[in-house]
Structure 1
Amino acid sequence: APPAEDAQASPTLYDGEIASVDRQIGRFIEKLKEKKVLDDTILVFTSDHGESLGEHAEATHALFIYESTIHVPLILRYPHGLPAGKVYGGAVGGVDVMPTILGLAGLKPNDTQGADLSKALAGTEEAPLRSPYSESVHPELEFGMAPLHGLRSNQWTYIRAPRAELYDRSTDPGEVHNLLEDAAAASDNSRAQALALEKALTDVFEDSKRFGIASDVRPIDDETTKMLQALGYMDASGAPAGVEGMDPKDGVQLFNAMDEARQFALQSEYQAAKDVLLRLLDAAPSNASARNLLALCELHLGNMDAVEKLYLESLAHEPRQAQVLTQLGRLRMAEGKLDAARARLHEALAVDPAFIQAMIFMAYIEIKEGKLEAATAWYDRAIESDPKDPAPYQQYGDFYFRQNEFEKARGWYEKTLELQPQSYLGAVQAGMSALRLNDMATAERYFLLAGRNDPNAWQPLYNLACVQSKKAAPDAAFGYLQRAIAIGFVDSALLRADPCFAALHADPRFVAIAGQ
Structure 2
Amino acid sequence: MASGNLRKVFAALALLAVAAACAWWLKPSRAIIRNVLLISIDTCRADHLSCYGYKDATTPNIDALAQSGILFENAISPVPLTLPAHSSMLTGTLPPYHGVHGNTGYRLDDSIACLPETLGVAGFATAAAVGAFVLDSRFGLEQGFEAYDDTFEDTLAGNLIVQRRGGETTDRALEWIERNKDERFFYFLHYYDPHHNYEAPEPFASRFASHPYAGEIAYTDDCIGRVIRKLKELDLYESTLIIVVGDHGEMLGEHGEHDHGYFIYQGAVRIPLIFRLPGGETPMRIPSLVGLVDIVPTVCSLLDVAPPPEVHGRDLSVYWKQGDARQPDRTMYCESFYPTSYGANPLVGVVSDRFKFIRTTRPELYDLVEDAAESDNLVPTEPGRAKTLSDELDAILERTLRDDSQQSKVAPDQDDVQRLQSLGYTGGHSFNDTFDFDPDKEDPKDNLGFHLLTQKVNLFLNAKDFDRARIHAAEMIRQKPDHVSGHKKMAIGLAEVEDYAQAIQFADKAARLDPGDALNFAFLGRLYDTVGETDRAIESYRQSLAIDPDNAAAHHELGRIHMIRKEFARAAECFRNVVRIQPDASRALSDLGNACRAQGKLDEAISHYERSLAIDPTAAFVHYNLGTALTATGRPETAISHFRLAIRHAPGHTGSYQNLVWLLATDTDAPFHDPAEAVRLAQKAIERTNHRGYELAALLAIAHAAAGDFPNAVEAAERAIAIAQQANDPAPLPGLKAKLELFKARKPYIPGPR
**TM-score scaled by structure 1?**
0.70
- Would the alpha carbon gap of residues 274 and 399 (structure 1) be closer, same or farther in structure 2, given more than 3 Å must change? farther
Residue 291 of structure 1: CA displacement?
Answer: 1.9
- Equivalent residues of 1:359, 1:378 under 8 A apart: yes
Q: Check whether the contact 1:133–1:152 (CA below 8 A) recurs between aligned residues.
A: yes
Higher deviation after alignment, 341-350 or 119-128: 119-128
Change (3 A) 1:302 1:234: closer
1:63-111 C-alpha deviation (Å, 9 max, x unpaired) = 111233223344556649x889655543332333333344344344466
Taking the aligned partners of 2:373 and 2:583, their CA distance within structure 1 comes to 47
Q: Comparing both chains, which one has the higher relative contact order based on Cα–Cα distances under 8 Å and sequence gaps of 6 or more?
A: 2
1:97-116 matches, cutoff 5 A: 97-109=295-307, 112=310, 114-116=312-314
| Partner residue in 1 for 2:396 | 204
| 2:517 matches 1:321 | yes
Report the residue type matching 1:65 in the other structure.
I
**Match of residue 179 from structure 2:** 31
Q: Structure 2: how far apart are the matches of 1:403 and 1:23?
A: 49
Specify which structure has the higher proportion of helix: 1
Structure-2 change in CA distance of 1:339 and 1:42 (3 Å): farther
Structure 1 residues 16 and 445: alpha-carbon distance in aligned structure 2, compared to 1, 3 A threshold: farther
Show structure 1 runs of 5+ residues with no match: 214-219, 419-425, 449-458, 482-490, 507-515
2:152/2:163 contact within 8 Å kept: no
Q: 1: CA distance between counterparts of 2:377 and 2:411?
A: 37
Paired with 2:526 and 2:157, the residues of 1 have a C-alpha distance of: 38
Shift of 1:383: 2.0
**Deviations 1:258-279 (CA, angstroms, capped at 9, x unpaired):** 1121122223322221111110
How do 1:263-412 and structure 2 match up within 5 A?
263-334=459-530, 338-387=534-583, 392-393=588-589, 395-396=591-592, 411=610
Instruction: Give the equivalent residue in structure 1 for 2:337.
Output: 137
Structure 2: where are the runs of 5+ without partners?
A: 1-132, 134-149, 187-235, 421-426, 433-438, 629-638, 661-676, 702-711, 716-725, 727-754
**1:410-447 Cα distance to aligned partner (Å, 9 max, x none):** 646545648xxxxxxx7564686699866587446634
Deviations 1:293-315 (A, max 9, x none): 32122222222222222222122
Q: Report the identity percentage.
A: 20
Aligned-partner SS, 1:91: strand
User: The residue matched to 1:221 in structure 2 has which SS?
Assistant: helix
Which residue of structure 2 lines up, in the alignment, with residue 176 of structure 1? 373
Alignment CA distance shift 1:9-1:113 (3 Å): closer
**Displacement of 1:252 after TM fit?**
1.6
| Distance 1:398-1:177 versus aligned 2 partners, 3 A rule | same
Cα 1:501–1:354 change in 2 (3 A) is same
State which of 399, 403, 411 in structure 2 corresponds to 1:226. 411
Q: Give the number of aligned pairs.
A: 463
Match of 1:146 among 339, 345, 349: 345
User: What is the identity, as a one-letter code, of the residue corresponding to 2:391?
Assistant: K
Q: Secondary structure at the match of 2:365?
A: strand
Q: State the shift of 1:353 in Å.
A: 1.2
Q: How much has 1:154 moved relative to structure 2?
A: 1.2
Shift of 1:133: 0.5
The 8 Å contact of residues 237 and 317 in structure 1, kept in 2 or not, is answered as no
Query: Which residue is 1:250 aligned to?
Result: 446
C-alpha change, 1:227 and 1:357, in structure 2 (3 Å) is closer
> Residues of 2 paired with 1:145 and 1:374: CA distance?
43
C-alpha contact 1:326 1:345 (8 A) present in aligned 2: yes
Give the Cα separation in 2 of the matches to 1:96 and 1:445. 51
1:230-250 alpha-carbon deviations (Å, 9 max, x no partner):
555451489xxxx97222223
Q: Which is richer in strand?
A: 2
1:500 to partner: Cα distance = 11
Q: Helix, strand or coil: the match of 2:356? A: strand
1:488 equivalent in structure 2 = none
After superposition, give the CA deviation of every residue in 1:466-492 in whole Å (9 maximum; x if it has no partner).
x9x999699x999x97xxxxxxxxx96
Q: Please say if residues 236 and 318 of structure 1, whose CA atoms lie closer than 8 Å, have aligned partners that are also in contact.
A: no
Shift of 1:151: 1.5
- Structure 2: how far apart are the matches of 1:112 and 1:267? 44
Q: 1:257 to 1:402 in 2, by over 3 A?
A: farther
Give yes or no for the alignment of 1:50 onto 2:249: yes
Partner residue, 2:365:
166
| Distance verdict in 2 for CA 1:254–1:336, change over 3 Å | closer
Q: CA RMSD in A?
A: 5.0
- Report deviation, 1:48: 4.0
Inter-partner Cα distance in structure 1 for 2:365 and 2:462: 37
CA distance, structure 2, for counterparts of residue 499 and residue 431 of structure 1: 24
State whether residues 410 and 429 of structure 1, in contact with CA within 8 Å, keep that contact through their aligned partners in structure 2: no
Mean Cα deviation higher: 339-348 or 392-401? 392-401
Cα–Cα, structure 1 residues 157 and 356, in superposed 2: closer, same or farther, change >3 Å? same
* Aligned match of 1:235: 429
Shift of 1:28: 3.5
The 1:93–1:63 alpha-carbon spacing in structure 2 relative to 1, beyond 3 Å, is same
CA shift for structure 1 position 17: 4.5
> Whole-Å Cα distance in 1 between the matches of residues 626 and 244 of structure 2?
42
Query: CA offset at residue 148 of structure 1?
Result: 0.6
Question: Cα gap change, 1:332/1:281 in structure 2, threshold over 3 Å: closer, same or farther?
Answer: closer
SS of alignment partner, residue 69 of structure 1: helix
Q: Larger Cα Rg: Structure 1 or Structure 2?
A: 2
Deviations 1:131-187 (A, max 9, x none): 2111011101x1011211121211333322333333444455xx4342217x67x5x
Shift of 1:55: 3.2
Letter paired with 2:357: Y
Q: TM-score, normalised by structure 2?
A: 0.50
Return the alpha-carbon distance in structure 2 between the equivalents of residues 377 and 146 of structure 1.
Answer: 42
Check the 8 A contact 2:584/2:615 in 1, yes or no: no
Partners of 1:312 and 1:83 in 2: CA distance: 64
Distance in 2 (CA, whole Å) between partners of 1:91 and 1:139 is 27
Number of the residue aligned with 2:170: 22
The AA in structure 2 aligned to 1:133 is Y
CA distance in 2, matches of 1:372, 1:281: 42
Distance 1:253 1:414, change over 3 A: farther
CA contact (8 A) 2:330 2:352 kept: yes
Change (3 A) 1:33 1:85: farther
Return closer, same or farther for 1:105/1:246 CA change in 2, 3 Å cut-off: same
Decide whether aligned partners of structure 1 residues 316 and 120 sit closer, same or farther in structure 2, where only a CA change above 3 A counts. same
What is the aligned partner in structure 1 of residue 69 from structure 2? none
Would the alpha carbon gap of residues 78 and 354 (structure 1) be closer, same or farther in structure 2, given more than 3 Å must change?
farther
Q: How far 1:386 sits from its partner (Å)? A: 2.9
| 1:119 equivalent in structure 2 | 317
Asked if the contact 2:263–2:336 (Cα under 8 Å) also holds between the matched residues in 1, the reply is yes
More deviation, 349-358/362-371: 362-371
- Counterpart of 1:90 in 2: which secondary structure? strand
